[in-house]
Structure 1
Amino acid sequence: MAYTLLSDLPELGKLNRKEIAALAGVAPMSRESGSYTGKRRIRGGRAKVRTVMFMAMMSAIQCNPVFKRYYEHLKAQGKLPKVALIACMRKLLVTLNTMMKNGTRWGEKSPEMA
């Protein structure tokens, strides 16, 4: 995953959280027109990055206590498993983006990891 993010997402650390999530294709986009309100879905972005992040997050929700706790919290709120997984992917990407911006490491205290 690190190789894919560094090679296919060189903007990591240079954009804000909404822009980086949209660029990777993990930001929820609403489908609205006039009075019609559709479901929010992810779309667009860089498919290769999204695919690699999906597989990495499948492992992370089993092994990483931060993402496992967040995933279980979202499921307890009634979110579908895939929706919760995508939210975890977005959280990971936003956390990595912030870490790149600030030059911090994973073990250091960060508001996203709380």
Structure 2
Amino acid sequence: VMHNHHFNSAEQLAAYLGLVPIERQSGTSLLGRARLSKNGPARLRAVLYMAAMVGIKHNPHVKALYERLLVKGKSKMSALGAAMRKLVHLCFGVLKTQKKYQAEYQNA
């Protein structure tokens, strides 16, 4: 629960925080890049931005995602937005399961 909101999934929390990409599809200008929706509390997004900056250097999950997106040709800023979203997903998982974060955890 965050500010009297209850989230059933990490996707719902990420959407509340404004970390979902929105594509511009207006009229003939379909060539615009996707951007973060930026709905929700800007202060939390600013904190997540700094956390993502540290995460791309020190967290193996976030670093791998960031580097994979750069190799695919994404801009550094969009890859950083994805890193912010990844941190939200990791935090949601830790809070939901009430288990300690495991950096070496792999989906089987």
Q: Does 1:17 align with 2:10?
A: yes
TM-score normalised per structure 1: 0.74
Give the distance between the partners of 1:29 and 1:17, measured in 2 at CA: 17
Identify the range of structure 1 (84-93 vs 14-23) with the bigger mean alpha-carbon deviation: 14-23
Q: How many Å apart are 1:39 and its aligned residue?
A: 3.3
* Identity of matched residues, %: 32
Q: Could you list the runs of 5+ residues in structure 1 that have no partner in the other structure?
A: 1-5
Partner in structure 1 of residue 49 of structure 2: 54
Q: Contact 1:14 / 1:101 at 8 angstroms: preserved in 2?
A: no
Larger helix proportion of the pair: 1
Partner in structure 2 of residue 39 of structure 1: 33
Q: Contact 1:12 / 1:100 at 8 angstroms: preserved in 2?
A: no
Q: Stretches of 4+ moved more than 6 A in 1?
A: none
Q: Does 1:75 align with 2:79?
A: no
Give the distance between the partners of 1:46 and 1:26, measured in 2 at CA: 11
Say how many residue pairs are matched.
105
Q: Does 1:27 align with 2:20?
A: yes
Identify the range of structure 1 (61-70 vs 89-98) with the bigger mean alpha-carbon deviation: 61-70
Which secondary structure does the structure 1 equivalent of 2:85 belong to? Answer: helix
RMSD: 2.7
